[in-house]
Amino acid sequence: MGSCTMNVFPGRISLVRHLGLYNAFHQHRGNQLVHTLASPFVYLSALVLLQVLLPAVLIPFVVTSLVLLSLADWRATLVYGLGVIAACVVAIALSHAVAAMPLLLGALLVQTLAWTALIFLGHGVYERPVIVDGRPVSTGVYFHRGYNRARNLGVAPNAFDVFLQFSIAPLAHTNDLLFSLGLRKDLHEAMTAERTSVLERLRVGCPPLAEDELAMEDGGAQPAH
């Protein structure tokens, strides 16, 4: 798995496991398409809001977030970063071309519509429930149980793991694009195997990354990676 992450990766939980956890709740192609189309509007409108409200913070915030993400996955961050840089240029240009209040309201509207599409269309319409402790449960469990904040995973995260899982969506979406182009096959296969393990742990009532508990349920067999 050495090709999937950099040696400087500071998390206790590997990139493959972070991606597998996220992907377990974003499996349906319809949901993935909604995220691919709507997420750029979430990012762009957020950058516009930041540019309007705290313009001095925009560039340091973007640079810091990209540096941190690159510690986990520099290849995906490189691709994602090109899009973010373009979005920053657009946000700055809009702030000079449009009055602050209309731009602020427009960005809030775009943010609201994008999140509505992600939650109600992507997850509500397309994404199938996951089986948790033998029962079908909405994929909203990813948020309700705090998995998106690296909580209740069955493994102890450090501060970087919390940041990474909370911020994993850009890396996940970028890698989905790279996978669709036939790139990063090793990472795709490893992530798919980890997703299967996550879903199996949930099915038998274990935390999503608790390997030892799953091994006991399976009579000592370790999940595949």
Q: What is the pLDDT of residue 1?
A: 41
Distance CA 215, CA 201 (A): 9
Q: Is residue 137 classed as helix, strand or coil in its secondary structure?
A: strand
Distance CA 1, CA 82 (A): 26
DSSP 8-state symbol, 121: I
Cβ burial of 143 (10 Å; 0-12, 13-18, 19+) is middle
Q: What is the mean pLDDT of each run of 10 residues along the chain (225 residues)?
A: 57 97 95 93 97 97 97 97 97 97 98 96 94 95 96 96 97 94 97 97 96 48 38
| 91, 47 Cβ separation under 8 angstroms | yes
In terms of pTM, does the model score above 0.75? yes
Distance CA 23, CA 9 (A): 20
Q: What is the pLDDT of residue 221?
A: 38
For residue 133, which of 197, 211, 199 has the smallest C-alpha distance? 199
Q: What is the pLDDT of residue 196?
A: 97
Domain coordinates in residue numbering, the chain = 15-214
| 172, 19 Cβ separation under 8 angstroms | yes
CA angle 139, 114, 105 (to 5 degrees): 140
Cβ burial of 119 (10 Å; 0-12, 13-18, 19+) is middle
User: Whats the size of the chain, residue-wise?
Assistant: 225
Distance CA 122, CA 153 (A): 24
| 27, 172 Cβ separation under 8 angstroms | no
| 94, 103 Cβ separation under 8 angstroms | yes
Q: What is the pLDDT of residue 212?
A: 60
Dihedral pair phi/psi, residue 136, rounded to 5°: -70, 135
Around 176, how many Cα atoms within 13 Å sit in the side-chain half-sphere? 21
Distance CA 70, CA 169 (A): 14
CA angle 93, 96, 98 (to 5 degrees): 100
Write out the E strands in 66-134. Answer: 130-132
